[in-house]
Amino acid sequence: MSRARSTGLADLPLADQRDRVLAAWDGFRAAAADADLDRPSRLPGWTGRDVCVHVGDWPGAPVLRGLLAQARTGPAEPTDTDGVNAAVVAAHRDASRAEVLASLERGRDRLAAWFAAPDDPDGPGVLGRRPVTSPVGELPLLTVVAASGYELAVHALDLDGPRPAPALLQAGLAALIDVTGVFAHRRGLRTALTAWTDGTGWQVRTGPDGWVTLPVTGRRPGGAVIEGDAATLLDASAGRRAVPALLASRAIRVHGLAEVIRLAPIVEEVPGLPGGPALKAAARWFGGAGRLLPRWGR
């Protein structure tokens, strides 16, 4: 009898997954409520309103419904993520502040209702590990749901307001590490990678049976470790800040350099991999070569 494959965050108790994802949504909603949505965001050409519209749940474009359909029938063909994002933003650019905040509440509530019925035919206990299409290829449905924490954390920082809630930043780091582990496993790498900040972090370990993603606390673990403030790590991973300058100033510190450089080639295979810019830039800074890759989504 073959062993079940490990699938990172998707293997953790559903209650833990639910709490982390909903805390990320709550953190983003709080950031949006505090923001001046008419101000420019950090994304060129996008206001804070545009960022929130992009994240929200709008009639005719419910993201979760589409993912559930894929989980039932099989992954869909990849879509033009940037094109879809631009179309949603254009369609709702004139939405009022109340409508934008309501769209965020709908997105959060839709996920809460899904997690509340784990044994439903469409519930996470039934469909959660089935493959669906994401901007970086096929992933388990629960992995994609968890990855929303990364997008929410980076976009909360894009609003350029007060520092986002710690739970949101930690959800972002968890998703970042988890998805990186997916592709390290697919490449056949046996490795450990940790995002470490303020005495805590998230680590993924990969091997022939999959990838295992867990929180770590106490002493900094061994293996490849990227250390820094949580917001700085997320900004670097998304290409929002220049990694060489962060490394030179020691705002980001790399431990287990050989392991980090060994991981860098996975970004050649997966354009848009969350964290790809940081891995590639770190390898380049320490003597490697290559290009920075596009960020996940926008």
State both tokens at 85: 């994002």
The reported pTM is 0.89
Statement to judge: residues 128 and 216 lie in one domain:
no
Higher-pLDDT residue of 28 and 64 is 28
Q: Tell me the C-alpha distance between 234 and 236, whole Å.
A: 5
Statement to judge: residues 184 and 151 lie in one domain:
no
Name the domain count of the chain.
2
Statement to judge: residues 125 and 25 lie in one domain:
yes
Statement to judge: residues 30 and 121 lie in one domain:
yes
**Does residue 269 fall inside a structural domain?**
yes
Statement to judge: residues 257 and 159 lie in one domain:
no
Q: Tell me the C-alpha distance between 148 and 96, whole Å.
A: 24
Instruction: Indicate if the alpha-carbon torsion angle 68, 149, 152, 27 is positive or negative.
Output: positive
- Average pLDDT, rounded, for the chain: 86
Statement to judge: residues 22 and 145 lie in one domain:
yes
Which domain, by its residues, includes 264?
A: 177-285
For residue 293, what pLDDT band results from cuts at 50, 70 and 90? very low
User: Which residues does residue 224 pair with via DSSP β-bridges, in sequence order?
Assistant: 193
Q: Tell me the C-alpha distance between 218 and 256, whole Å.
A: 18
Average pLDDT score over residue span 157-170: 96
Statement to judge: residues 252 and 156 lie in one domain:
no
**Does residue 1 fall inside a structural domain?**
no
By C-alpha distance, which of 119, 141, 8, 11 is closest to 67? 141
Statement to judge: residues 215 and 261 lie in one domain:
yes
Classify residue 208 by burial, with Cβ atoms within 10 Å: 0-12, 13-18, 19+.
exposed
Average pLDDT score over residue span 120-141: 92
Statement to judge: residues 61 and 155 lie in one domain:
yes
The tens digit of pLDDT for each residue in 5-34 reads 899 999 999 999 999 999 999 999 999 999
What residues contact residue 67 under an 8 Å CB cut-off, 6+ apart? 132, 141, 144, 145
